[in-house]
A and B are shown apart, each in its own frame.
Chain A
C-alpha cells in the first residue's frame, strides 16, 4: 500500500513540475517539457492531466514543437473528448497554414483522433486538402478519407468524399494516385458490391503509368489493386502483363510478389499456344528464385507462395530443384518449407539428387525436420516409380540407425509404399518386425499392424505378433484398435484354422467391452459377415484396394485458385482463405481466377458479381443424413424435441430479408436451421454469415450454403453446421448469440438465443463413483434449486436422454423418486442434477450443481422445455 502511495506522490510532483515548464515562455523549455511528457506516456504513466497545458503549446509556428503536441493529442484525445474539442480550432487553422508540411500534419493527425465530435469539424478542412495544390497534402488527405470512413462510413458517403477520391486516381502525382488506390481498395473491401473501384481500361492505363513512377510502396498498392481487375479479353490481358513484367526486377520483394500475383492471374486468360505465354512462364522463374536470397522471414513468405505456384503451374520451377536444397544454417521454418517444395518438384529427372539430399537431412537434429525428411523419401517412392527401390533401401538404412522417431516414421511411409506397389517389397517385412517393440506412436503401431494383417500369409508368427498387441487393447488409441480388429479378421480369413480363438477374442473386445461406437460398429459388421457368409466376408475384407494417389497434401483446387489471387498476402502464408482469419465483413468476399477465353459479362464490377453458374445438384449435408439414420435406428422415445422456428430478423429491419430459424443437435453436430425469405423486389445473392464472440464459442463450421440466388418471394431453408471452437466471450444472457448476415444488399445484425441443450454432448454420462465424488466436491454455494410445475410424465429419463441428459442412478426414498443425472457441455463443463419426483405430484423439484453456477438457470430452462414438451 505504501509503495503505491509513494509512486503517486512522485507522479503528482512530476506533473506539477511539467505543468510549470509547459507554460514557460521559452520555446526550448516548452519543447523539452513536451518531450518529457511523451517520455512518460511511452513508459505507460498517465499524463492525461496535462492535456490543457499541452494543447496550449499547439499554437506555434515551430514544426518540431507542433509535431510533439500532435503526438500527445493522438494518444489522449480519446480519453478526453471534451478537452480534445479545445484543439479543434488550431487544427482547422493549421489546415490552412502556408507550410504544406503543417497542413498535411494537421489533416493526418485529425484523422487519427477517433472522437466523433472532432470528425464533424474534419470534413471542411479535408475537402480543401483533397484539392490542395501541394501533392504531399493531397496524398495525406487521400489516406485520411479511409480513416474517416473507418470511423463514420455514412459521413464519408454523404460528404461526397468517395467521388473526390476517385478523381485522385487521375492525379498528376504518382504518390497521390497510389494512396488514393490504397484508400479506395480498403473502402471497397468493406462494401463488396459497391462498384467503388470502377476499373476500366482507361483507369487501368492510368494506374499502369503511375506504376512506373511511384515509390516502392505505391507500386505494391497499385499492383494489389490491379490484381482485382478482370481484363475483357486476352489482348488486354497480354498488354497489362507486358507492362507489369518489368516489376519483376524490383529490389523490393513485395513488389515482385505482387507482380507475380497479377501475372499468375492474368495468364489464365492467355491462350496456351501463344508465344507470349511461353515467354511469360520463363520470365517468372528467375525472380522467384531470387526471392530465396532475401532475409529469412521474407524467404518464408516467398516459399509459402512458391508452394502455391508450384501446385498451380509446376512447369515454372521444374528445373530449379537445387535452389530449394536446405542449408545447414537456414532457420527451421525455412527448412520445412523448402522440403515441402522439394517433394512437389521431385521427378524422374532429379530424383537421384533429391534422394541423396533427403538422406542427408534424415540425420539432422531437429525432430520435426527429420520426420518430414523421412516422410518425403516415402513420398518420392510413391511419386516416381523408378526410384521406389532406392527409396525403400534408403528407408531400411534409416531403420538400422535405430533412432526411435526415424524408425516409426519410416514404418508409416513403408506402409504407403506397400499400398502403392503391392507384392513387391515384402522382403523387408522381417526387418520391420524386428522393430515392433520400439513403436510407441499410434500412427506407427497402426501402420505396422496393417502390414502384418495385409501380409499375414507370409509372416509365420503373424498370430503371435497380433496377439501381443491384443493384451493392452483398451489402452490403445482408436486408430490402433480399428487397425488391429481389421488385421486379425484378415488373418483369420487367410489362416482360419489356427486363429479362431484370436478372432473371437478381438470381436468381443471390440463389441462388448468398448464404448467407442466406430469400433463397435465395425466389430458387429465383421461378426455378422463372418457368421453369415464367410465368402462374402473374404470378398469384402480382402478386396483389392484402390491405388493411392501420387500427390498428397494438395490444396483443394478452388481454394488454390482463391489463394493464387491472394499471393503475397497473409492468406497465402497461412494457406487459408481470408475469411478464416479476418473478422467482420472485410475480406469475406471470395476471389476467383478468370477463365481462359471467356468474355467477361457486362457486369461492370470486376470483383465478384459474375453470373451464377449452373447450380450444382444439392447434396444433403452430412448432418441431415446422419440425423435420418439416427431416427431410423433408435427407438422413438429418444427423439429430441424440435423447436419451432422463431422470426429472428423481420423483413422490415433488413431491407426485405426475413430470417427465422431454430437450433437442433443431430448426431453430435449443432445445426442452425435458417429459413431465409426474400420479401423484397430484387434478387438476393452472395449470402454469408458471421457470429460475434459468444459464451460457448459457437461459430459456423462452414460457409452459408445458399447456392442459388434468392428471387423475390422465394424461401430457402439452410442448415448451417456449427462448431464450438470459435472465440469465446461471456454474453448476457449466457445463451445469447449475435449474428451478422450479409447479402448483396447490406449487412444485417440480429441476436437470438439458443437452447443450451444444443451444447450437451453425447458422452455426458458420468461414472457413478465419479458422480458421487464430484457432487461432494462442488461447494454447496453452487447448488441451485428450481421447481418444475404441471408435469405429467411416466419416464422422464428416456425423454431427457434424447437431449443428452443422462440418468446415472435412481433411488426411491419415502415414495419419492430421486433421479441423479449428468450433463456435459461442449466446453467440458459438467452439470450434475438431482430430480425429485413424488408420485401423484405434478411438481418436480430439481437441484443443479455445477462449477460454473451461471449456467444453472439456462440448464433449468432446458429441463422445463424438455419435460413439458
Chain B
C-alpha cells in the first residue's frame, strides 16, 4: 500500500501545512486527517519540531472518529509523556473514554478537571456531550443553561458572537434564521436586516439571499405594515429574486443536471410573485 506522499506526490511540508489548514478551518475530515497525520508522525516526526504536539492532538481526535483506538492511544501516550499534568491532555483522555462509551470513567476525569479549575468550559462541554450521547436531553439542557447562565437565549449568544466577530457572515445569517423562526412581524423585519447584513459581508451567501427574499416577502404581505414599509419590502424581495435568478443562471450554465434546479427556482420565484396591490 503506497504512502500518501507517493499517491498524491506531496512533500512532508505540504502535508504538515494541509493539517494546519484543516485545524484552522475546523474541518472534521477525520479519515483524511488520519491518513495524512499518521504518515507524518511515523515518517517525519523529527522534522516537525514543536508542531508535533498539536498534530498529535489533531490526529488523536480524528482517530477516535475513525475508530482507530490504536492510533488514538499512541498519540495520547506521547502527549501524556510530554505534558503530564495538563488539563487539556486530560480532556483528550476523557474523549477517548467517551469514544469507548465508558461514560462513568470519562465523567470522573472531567469532574477532576472541574475540581481543579471550575471555570474550565471545555470539560463542562464534554459532560454535556455525554448526557446527549446517553439520550438524557433534559439534563443536558439543564446543564447547558447553567453553563450559559450569562446568556438567555440562542439569539443572545449569536449577538455576542456577532459583536466579537463582526465580519463573520455566517453568524449574521444564522441570527437571521433564528429570528425568522421565532416569527412575528418584528422578528421578520430583524431577520431581513440581518440577512441583508450577511450579504454585505459575503454577497455569495445563498442562505442569506433566500432568507432576505422570504423575510421581505412575508413583511410585505403583512396586513400590519404601512404602505411605505410594504413598498420597501416589495423592492427588497424583488432585488433578492433577481439576484437569485442570476446566480442560478450562472450556476446552470452548461451542466445538464443543473437544469432541474434552475427550473425549480425560476418557477418558485414566479409563483411567489409579489405584486403591488
Is chain B found bound to chain A in the same assembly? no
Q: Which A residues contact B (CB, under 8 angstroms)?
A: none
